[in-house]
A and B are shown apart, each in its own frame.
Chain A
Amino acid sequence: MLLEVPFMTKDNLDIDIKRSDLNRVPLKTRVRPYLIIAPSLIITIGIMVPFVMAIWYSLTNYSFRLPTHKFIGLDNWVTMLMSREFWNALKVTLMYGLISTAIELLLGLCVAILLNSSNNRLSKVLRVLLVFPLMVAPVTATIVWQLMLNSSVGIVEKLFNIFRVYNFPWASSPRTALMTVVLIDVWINTSFIILLVLAGLQSLPKSPFESAKIDGGSAWFNFKNLTLPMLKPSLYIALLFRLMAAFQEYAVIFALTKGGPGDTLMSLSLTAYQKGFKFQKFGAAIPYILVLWLIINVAAKRIVKLQRSAQKQASGLGE
């Protein structure tokens, strides 16, 4: 998206300016607007160059193995769209993103409400402890979880044995692999939701709740008609951040199973990584990333629109 630069023109000034008059304005003054926007322009270009290059490379047979590359049109795109691999990757990406985000939002909201409802020492300690998973790198957390879930040495296996459940497959079976990575993702990222929602809860005005208390509103009434509508903007922000990150998730899946068993966890980002860095076929890998970008772009725009509408509602400015 390009920046709109407000130039001085005849249209937006109520003065009849002649071109000759403009030329009498010192050069420094005329150049100033460009200098002001230059840093953001450089950053924009810095972001756009790799993006445009990626689109170009997706139309070539670019590979680490070949000394040069040539334009092949839409071959990579057609091959991708006609492959079972792509549709599987799309399904895995959407399922992983939507399921993990939904659980994190729900869990995060419940925990934040509980933490907000009391202000004793325990809740203060919990607020600190619950942030801990955010301080651990996703790969480290995944490796620790892998050890905990291991059937030979894992503590979770020992706990399950108490309930006479033995050798639970976790990430080694297609039936339970997705559930396992979602579990790890929820452990890592729910803290983020808790922090955001807690901040939102603490910024809510007190007077509506006091009025509801006087009128004898129940806890569920307060939550449904007061808390939730006013909290929606914060929830949409949390949803935006988590969904974008969840769609792009790579580290947890790679560290756990590298996309296996079979193609069970081969998301769009993991498939692109495998094609690009393992198989060295960058031209074939980039379309997967561009499709991912499109999905995130569309989802983000929709959520931002919803968030703005919720913001207006929460501030009483209507629909």
Chain B
Amino acid sequence: MKKLLVVLMILTVLMTGVFAQGSKDAAGGAFDPSTAKGDFDWKMYAGEEITVLFSDHTYADAVEAKLSEFTNKTGIKVSYSSMPESNYFEKLNVELSSGSGSIDVFMTGAYQSWEYATAGNLEPLERYYANPSLTSKDWNYGDFIPAVINALKWDLKPGHPVGKGSQWALPMGWEVNILTYNKNILAKKNLAPPKTAEDLLRVAKALKGFDGSASYGIAVRGTADWGTIHPAYMSLYTTWGAKDFEVVNGKLKSQVNSPEAVAMTEYWVDLVKNGGAPQWATYGWEMCGADLGAGKAAMMWDADRGGYTQNVKGASAQAGNLAFGMIPYPVSAGKTEADMKSNLWVWSMAMNSDSKKKAPAWLFMQYFTSPEFMLWSGTEGACTDTPRTSVLNSAEYRQSVADAEGYYEAFSTVSKNASIFFTAQPYFTETTTEWAKTLQELVTTNKYPSVQVAMDQLKVKMDSIVADLDVE
């Protein structure tokens, strides 16, 4: 009998644990920005403390360098931490889903903001910057580059393009994906910098082993995650005329097996196999940049700042030897320079909807996206991908990037056609991870008889992932 009592006691505690649901502290997370009245004053929340979590990046380094100035100006203390990007989003997922509001401001990307906003983790910001009691008149929302600020606006309807709806985050910096090449290596082999996709393939193949067995033509990402799809691959994919999803009868349907998508992917597999890194499948942006800087890769197609940072004096063995080009466009697909498209990546900062310090958090975000801070970060803080038009057009900025041959021209040209070319949907991470895995299998195995078969199977997987989304 007593044994039975002990068993029942244990079961009761277990069942209580199973069915007890933590409740959100609704009172703590709720703040109505429209209730803020009076003149704006940087010191209006002096004495408060906020917690900030960023991913390791030069944008984060620039913020960290000016934290004490922010505290002096506002009286708000900042508990700041950062971690490597490879685990950052998983850590952030756990923090946000706990609903504890332990983090007030965090770094996010545009694509991840689709997932977080859908889950209700992000605080919409338009009521903050629209309230003159909460926002300095110098802050100037209209100064942000339209494509960049709009990339962080979405109406939460799968399939609807970005640019409409709530403002979920503010840009810290953005990246277009351009070609970086080593002038000396190409010159030694009498090769001109490639302008078309056909040129790129020919040059990459010609440069395989240009300086021993470990050297190769072009560095591009290859790990089994979304980072492999979004920079160079997606830029060329879109330039080729392919799309990731279409809306068909109110549902998202993957288009990765379209003729354009298959043709582009066949090209890409050829490029990687015959001109890419021997260990491509383990390469993230860090290894690509490292190989370019070490002179092991003759070219790199990745985020513009990946090549830019390798070219800064003293940064790498090949610093000073690198130059910048545009997006190689496929002539065989009938494309011209006018069709060059770069997919966009926007590192941004967002506010946790469960934060109990929303107003001070807004002051933090406002300060570190202000024209003043961004002029400093864009010129002296090594954050050359400024999201503010005033900074981009300033003499100081042009002077700071003048030494990087072709950089300003490439960046400002490609930027005109840069956008987020992914279809906004909350399963972005899952669909692009499957996409990257398929690419890896195409490059490293003979699993599929053809690229068409591989992309047909990928389409089925992607359709099943997004099957529960209804498009209005």
A residues adjacent to B (C-beta < 8 A): 2-5, 7, 41, 44-45, 48-49, 52-53, 56, 64-67, 146, 150-153, 157, 161, 166-167, 169-174, 256-263, 273-274, 277-280
Contact = CB atoms under 8 A, between A and B. Distances in A.
B426 A65 contact: yes
B282 A152 contact: no
Contact of B294 (A3, A153, A278): A153
10 contacts: A56-B18, A150-B287, A152-B290, A171-B282, A172-B278, A258-B223, A260-B224, A260-B440, A273-B90, A277-B90
B2 A64 contact: no
Contacts of A261: 224, 281, 437, 440-441, 443-445
Given A53-B18, A151-B214, A173 B281 contact: yes
Contact of B3 (A5, A67, A174, A258): A5
Contact of A173 (B214, B433, B444): B444
B118 to A, nearest CB: 6
Nearest to A265: B224
B14 interface: yes
Contacts, number: 138
B79 interface: no
B14 A49 contact: yes
Q: Most chain-A CB neighbours within 10 Å: which of B18, B94, B278, B290?
A: B278
Interface string B216-229: 00000011110000
Given A174-B444, A261-B440, A279 B90 contact: no
Given A172-B282, A257-B281, A152 B440 contact: no
Contacts of B223: 257-258, 260
Interface stretch (B5-13, B43-51, B303-311, B324-332): B5-13
B429 A49 contact: no
Nearest to B19: A56
A150 B96 CA distance: 36
A174 B89 CA distance: 27
B430 interface: yes
A17 B190 CA distance: 104
Contacts of B290: 152-153
B393 interface: no
Contact of A64 (B14, B96, B214): B96
A260 B437 contact: yes
Nearest to A41: B10
Q: Most chain-A CB neighbours within 10 Å: which of B3, B18, B281?
A: B281
Nearest to A173: B444
Nearest to A51: B14
Chain B's interface size range is 35 or more
Interface string B410-439: 000000000000000011011001000110
A172 B221 CA distance: 12
A41 B3 CA distance: 13
Contacts of A173: 281, 444
Interface of B: 2-3, 6-7, 10, 13-15, 17-18, 89-90, 93-94, 96-97, 115, 118-120, 213-215, 222-225, 277-282, 287, 290-291, 294, 296, 426-427, 429-430, 433, 437-438, 440-441, 443-445, 447
Given A161-B213, A174-B444, A174-B445, A151 B429 contact: no
B296 A152 contact: yes
Nearest to B16: A49
Contacts of B10: 2, 41, 44-45, 48
Nearest to B279: A172
A171 B14 contact: no
A258 B444 contact: no
B214 A167 contact: yes
A45 to B, nearest CB: 5
B52 to A, nearest CB: 21
Contact of A45 (B13, B96, B214, B296): B13
A5 B279 CA distance: 59
B433 A64 contact: no
B441 A262 contact: yes
Given A41-B10, A67-B120, A262 B445 contact: yes
A105 B223 CA distance: 33
A45 B437 CA distance: 41
A52 B14 contact: yes
A269 to B, nearest CB: 14
A274 B444 contact: no
Contacts of A256: 282
Given A65-B115, A151-B213, A273-B90, 17 more contacts: A41-B6, A52-B14, A52-B15, A52-B17, A56-B18, A64-B97, A65-B118, A152-B294, A161-B213, A166-B214, A171-B281, A172-B280, A172-B444, A174-B441, A263-B437, A279-B427, A280-B97
Contacts of B97: 64, 280
A262 B224 contact: yes
Given A52-B14, A262-B440, A7 B2 contact: yes
Given A172-B281, A278-B429, A258 B213 contact: no
A44 B96 CA distance: 30
Given A152-B291, A157-B214, A169 B437 contact: no
A2 B223 CA distance: 46
A238 B29 CA distance: 51
A237 B266 CA distance: 52
A198 to B, nearest CB: 36
A169 B97 CA distance: 39
B455 to A, nearest CB: 15
B279 A259 contact: no
B444 A262 contact: yes
A150 B297 CA distance: 14
Contacts of B291: 152
Contacts of B215: 152
B241 to A, nearest CB: 27
B437 A258 contact: no
A172 B6 CA distance: 54
Contacts of B296: 152-153
A274 B433 contact: yes
Contacts of B94: 277
Nearest to B441: A262
Contacts of B13: 45, 49
B347 to A, nearest CB: 19
A282 to B, nearest CB: 9
B282 A49 contact: no
Contacts of B115: 65, 280
Given A45-B13, A146-B282, A259 B224 contact: yes
B2 A152 contact: no
Contacts of A172: 222, 278-282, 444
